[in-house]
Amino acid sequence: MVRARRTLPEAESRISRRVASVAVLCVALASVVFIVREPVLGGLAQFLIIETPLRPAAAIIPLSGSEPYRAMEAARVYREGWAPRILLVPSVERRKDALRALGVEAPYEWQWSREVLIRLGVPAAAISVANGAAINTLSELCLAAAALQPGDAPVILVTSPYHTRRAQLDWQQVTDGKSPALMAATGERFEGDRWWSAWERVPPVAHEYLGLLYLQAQRLPRGRGEAETKQAQACGPELGAGRPLVPSRGSAPIGAG
């Protein structure tokens, strides 16, 4: 019993020292994280942004979202003469479908974009609308590739700065890397160096990284004996894998102007 009494304080002392060591380590790690948070988190945002010099291309594709800025940038790129036409890809917009079913006039996003382009000097004959309706960026670019059939010709993708890397990777996946994607970013304000400091800036960055993870999942092997091309692997699930496409509600096929 005497021996037990002597060892108990020693055990408590060892535990206290370990707890103190862990606490010191945690404080040190927290200090390091606090010090490097800005360059690390800022680097995560900057990684999403790609800038490529423009050159003559088959078409300009303003991706859906951030209206009217992407259409405005597409009009600027067109006026500079980088491509002879602009392709719009409709998106699934169920709320507007519901409004229209009630007899309420609710223009779809592609219709707004077309109007913006025309107001900014793009001839109506230079604007085409793809068949189908997209549910995300990957399916949007699948529809664009199906409409354009670009081969090895480059296209110009117009999107927001934080969306440029994923859009370029999606196009590479869809076209099997044969058609280069030249990126034209809008002039939207994107505070990538402080995106974590305000809640409204967090979702775009988080969404892009989730999209990049999804794209990597699309590239994983899907079993032995698969004869599909990379384009079919990418577009099959997105376009319904044989199911009919959602109608684009009166959009004209490519070339119809």
In this prediction, residue 116 carries a pLDDT of: 96
Percent of the chain with pLDDT over 90: 39
The pair phi, psi for residue 159, each rounded to 5°, is -155, -175
Helical segments of the chain, H only? 2-47, 69-79, 94-101, 109-119, 137-148, 164-174, 202-218, 230-238
The pLDDT of residue 2 is above 90: no
Tokens of 32: 């390091």
For residues 147-175, average pLDDT: 93
> Would you kindly state where each structural domain of the chain is located, as residue ranges?
60-220+228-238
pLDDT in tens, 65-74: 888 999 999 9
Contact 229, 176 (CB under 8 A): yes
Nearest to 246 by CA among 110, 149, 71, 128: 110
3-state secondary structure of 249: coil
Instruction: Return the top range by mean pLDDT from 40-49, 155-164, 195-204.
Output: 155-164
Query: Scanning the structure block, which residue is given the tokens 């670019």?
Result: 141
pLDDT higher than 80, residue 13:
no
Residue 135 is inside which H or E element, if any?
none
Q: Pull the structure tokens for residue 209.
A: 């990284």
Taking 70 as the threshold, does the pLDDT of residue 221 lie above it? no
CATH of 60-220+228-238, one of 3.40.120, 3.30.70, 3.40.50, 3.30.300: 3.40.50
d(CA 94, CA 92): 6
Query: For 75-86, how does the pLDDT look when each residue is reduced to its tens digit (9 = 90+)?
Result: 999 999 999 999
pLDDT of amino acid 66: 84
Closest CA to 142 of 89, 95, 79, 98: 89
